[in-house]
Amino acid sequence: MEIIVCVKRVPDTAELEVEIDRSGGGIEERDLAYGINEWDNFAVEAALAIKEEHGGKVTAITTGGEDDEEVLRRALAMGADEALHLMDSAFEGSDAQGIATILHKAISARPFDLILTGAISSDRSSGQVGGMLAAKLGIPQVALATDLKVEGSKAIVTHEVEGGLERVVELDLPALVSVQTGLNEPRYVSIRGIRKVSSMEIPILGSGDLGLDAAAVGSAGAVVTVEELFLPPKVEGAEMLEGDEEEMVEQLVAKLREQGGL
Amino acid sequence: MADSLVLVELVGGEIDDSAWELAEAARNAGSEKVAAALLGKDVAAHAETLTKAFDVVHVFDDAQLEVLDGEVSAALLAPFVERTAPAMVFVPHTNYGMDLAPGLAVKTDRPLLTDIIAIESANDGIQAVRTMYGGKVHAKVKAVPCDRGYILTLRPGSFAPADNPAAGGTINTEEVPAALAPGRRFVETIQPDAGEVDITQAEVLVAVGRGIEEEENLEIIDSLAEALGAEVACSRPVVDKKWLSKSRQVGTSGLSVKPKIYIAIGISGSFQHMGGVKGGPFIAAINKDPAAPIFSVANVGIVGDLFDIVPLLEEKINEAKG
């Protein structure tokens, strides 16, 4: 089994207040910690579990700048065999179809049986790259996978559908699966583990190496652009309780009583 | 002015509300004619219903479409979209829509805007609004002008349907080719376990999210729920970590609940989560992030450390009960 897993480095904003930066086109990054996109972490674990069961090789791929190498090191520390860093100044400002185009060029030149991606990323959350990549490669795909196993030349995938239901489909390999969070328990990565892979060579490929027309990717090739970020408009919203903790809690208890909750 | 096509989704055999929302969104975006694509098996009655809001309903009625599959749908729609050339194709941003839209965009070579919550302009490209960073940031996005047209997935519940649509449309039956997506085959739909609790019937829910940090911290939530005579519910991250069972998950990928009181603790309030909170309950939110989206939908909010607030709340409730 040749398994390719696409990963992305994102800022962790889940528990933080996000501010818009001065350009208006991004978020204030100063105090943010970066790491692997949560969905992609489940994808890496799924890739490794399949390799452990069926044998083969796992290759982690990312496209991005120099700092993004850290998510490849992390995937190697988890047990990926190889990593590939697609990096070129011409890639900057790529939209989802640009990213899919870059990945397509890199992946179609290699052998593969299964490609795994996260279903969405926690930063821009457009949820497009996996499905686009599969269509460009002309292989079957399924999004929002919550369970995945390989049997012979097929992948058996459970995925989320409407109404809180799940559905099982069978894909002929080679295929692409975009995974939902929660489909496994990603293994822990120790600092020692990362140190052990620190000297592993990670090839860097640019547009020339991939035979990519630089005008088809990056800002030049983007058909969808982000014009401006802004904070959600203030709506009426909640009555915010004030005072010290004790006072706030007492007010809340009074409200719950009014609503018949006690 | 140009024409639009709306993909109708059937959920549990019924027309999803998104069909009416997308029809009106398409008209408000300046479409002259709005067509529907209805995919399914034995859907003649639904086609008739849809003529209220659509100028034409294109019906694809076939055994292959009995279970709506994203790959089959994309393979079917791509040549149809190329032939009929609607300026805008609207797809609901549901699990089904997310599964099929990227493939459809590549096959038809159209720019794709996903998870749109507002359309600002459809002249000279498309300008629209979507959310990023778990709903904490809104973004104005633009699809550059494209002669072939565009594909947009619209978030359910973000666009109002028309009050009394009277389009009086016609019905057109389309052929469905065989073996549309042979590489992906339906096996079965899994019926969810009844589970050990039924949060859908609870009047008071204490719901916990990512902010609880560790599994052992759930103790304070259980304890608060007990004091209130409430059931414990949760958002997705808690189920992903296997700390609580899927039968307690509220949201678009979990269960819909309709309590009278919903206490959201350490839950940021993404639309995926709030999409499962129905019936307009009284919502109290406790979160350390003052900008958490939950505070814009809650009735009452406390910004603070849940590890201080929750035990104190339990204590005060027990006092109040005497």
CA B234/CA B245 separation, integer angstroms:
9
pLDDT band at residue A232, thresholds of 50, 70 and 90? Answer: confident
Which of A168, A176, A177, A248 best probes binding to B when mutated, by most B CB atoms within 10 angstroms? A248
Asked whether residue B138 falls in the same domain as residue B51, the answer is: yes
Q: Supply the mean pLDDT for chain B.
A: 94
Indicate whether B191 belongs to any domain: no
Residue B308 structural domain? 199-321
Q: Is the pLDDT of residue A182 over 80?
A: yes
B-chain residues near A260 (CB < 8 A): 260-261
Kindly state whether B66 is in contact with chain A, defined as any CB-CB distance less than 8 angstroms: no
The pLDDT of residue A52:
97
The pLDDT of residue B2:
82
Asked whether residue B161 falls in the same domain as residue B12, the answer is: yes
pLDDT in tens, B164-197: 998 999 999 999 999 999 999 999 998 766 666 8
CA B237/CA A47 separation, integer angstroms:
21
Structure token digits, residue B292: 């958490």
How far is C-alpha B201 from the geometric centre of its chain's CA atoms?
Answer: 22
Q: Span A84-103, mean pLDDT?
A: 97
Asked whether residue B68 falls in the same domain as residue B126, the answer is: yes
Q: Which of B184, B253, B309 sits opposite A171 (nearest CB)?
A: B184
Indicate whether B84 belongs to any domain: yes
Kindly state whether B86 is in contact with chain A, defined as any CB-CB distance less than 8 angstroms: no
Cβ atoms of A3 and A58 closer than 8 Å:
yes
Task: Inspect the interface and report whether the beta carbons of B142 and A229 lie closer than 8 Å.
Answer: no
Q: Distance (Å) from the C-alpha of residue B64 to the closest C-alpha of chain A?
A: 14
- Chain A segment 2-21 residues within 8 A of B by beta carbon are 13-18, 20
If we measure between CA atoms, which residue out of B154, B144, B69 comes closest to residue B110?
B144
CA B302/CA B265 separation, integer angstroms:
10
- Chain A segment 113-152 residues within 8 A of B by beta carbon are 119, 122-132, 134-136, 139-144
Task: Inspect the interface and report whether the beta carbons of A96 and B112 lie closer than 8 Å.
Answer: yes
In terms of Cβ atoms closer than 10 Å to its own Cβ (0-12, 13-18, 19+), residue B120 is: middle
CA B164/CA B20 separation, integer angstroms:
10
Q: Is the pLDDT of residue A177 over 80?
A: yes
Asked whether residue B133 falls in the same domain as residue B203, the answer is: no
pLDDT in tens, A132-150: 999 999 999 999 999 999 9
pLDDT in tens, A5-37: 999 999 998 878 889 999 898 999 888 999 999
Asked whether residue B107 falls in the same domain as residue B13, the answer is: yes
Task: Inspect the interface and report whether the beta carbons of A229 and B132 lie closer than 8 Å.
Answer: yes
**Does the predicted interface ipTM exceed a cut of 0.85?**
yes
In terms of Cβ atoms closer than 10 Å to its own Cβ (0-12, 13-18, 19+), residue B179 is: exposed
Indicate whether B146 belongs to any domain: yes
Asked whether residue B211 falls in the same domain as residue B164, the answer is: no
Structure token digits, residue A193: 């583990």
B250: CATH:
3.40.50.1220
Asked whether residue B149 falls in the same domain as residue B247, the answer is: no
CATH architecture of A2-221: 3-Layer(aba) Sandwich (3.40)
The pLDDT of residue B252:
84
Kindly state whether B101 is in contact with chain A, defined as any CB-CB distance less than 8 angstroms: yes
If we measure between CA atoms, which residue out of B109, B52, B118 comes closest to residue B79?
B109
Q: Which of B16, B99, B289 sits opposite A17 (nearest CB)?
A: B289
Asked whether residue B32 falls in the same domain as residue B138, the answer is: yes
- Chain B segment 209-248 residues within 8 A of A by beta carbon are 210-211, 228, 236-237, 239-242
Q: Which residues of chain B have pLDDT under 70?
A: 1, 192-196
Task: Inspect the interface and report whether the beta carbons of B98 and A165 lie closer than 8 Å.
Answer: no
Asked whether residue B153 falls in the same domain as residue B18, the answer is: yes
Kindly state whether A256 is in contact with chain B, defined as any CB-CB distance less than 8 angstroms: yes
Task: Inspect the interface and report whether the beta carbons of B96 and A162 lie closer than 8 Å.
Answer: yes
DSSP state of A211: T
Q: Span A190-201, mean pLDDT?
A: 93
Indicate whether B186 belongs to any domain: no
Task: Inspect the interface and report whether the beta carbons of B313 and A249 lie closer than 8 Å.
Answer: yes
Count how many pairs of residues, chain A against chain B, have C-beta atoms within 8 Å: 286
Cβ atoms of B91 and B7 closer than 8 Å:
yes
A-chain residues near B66 (CB < 8 A): none
B15: CATH:
3.40.50.620
Q: Supply the mean pLDDT for chain A.
A: 95
Indicate whether B213 belongs to any domain: yes
Q: Which of B183, B187, B255 sits opposite A164 (nearest CB)?
A: B255
Kindly state whether A158 is in contact with chain B, defined as any CB-CB distance less than 8 angstroms: yes
Asked whether residue B203 falls in the same domain as residue B287, the answer is: yes
Task: Inspect the interface and report whether the beta carbons of A252 and B313 lie closer than 8 Å.
Answer: yes
Edge-to-edge strand ranges of the sheet holding B261-265:
A239-240, B300-303, B282-287, B261-265, B204-208, B231-234
Which of B93, B106, B212 best probes binding to A when mutated, by most A CB atoms within 10 angstroms? B106
Radius of gyration of chain B, Cα coordinates, nearest whole angstrom: 22
Domain count for chain B: 2
pLDDT in tens, A147-176: 999 999 999 999 999 877 899 999 999 999
Asked whether residue B126 falls in the same domain as residue B247, the answer is: no
Asked whether residue B167 falls in the same domain as residue B204, the answer is: no
The pLDDT of residue B194:
63
Task: Inspect the interface and report whether the beta carbons of B309 and A235 lie closer than 8 Å.
Answer: no
CA closest to B16 among chain A residues = A162
CA closest to B149 among chain A residues = A223
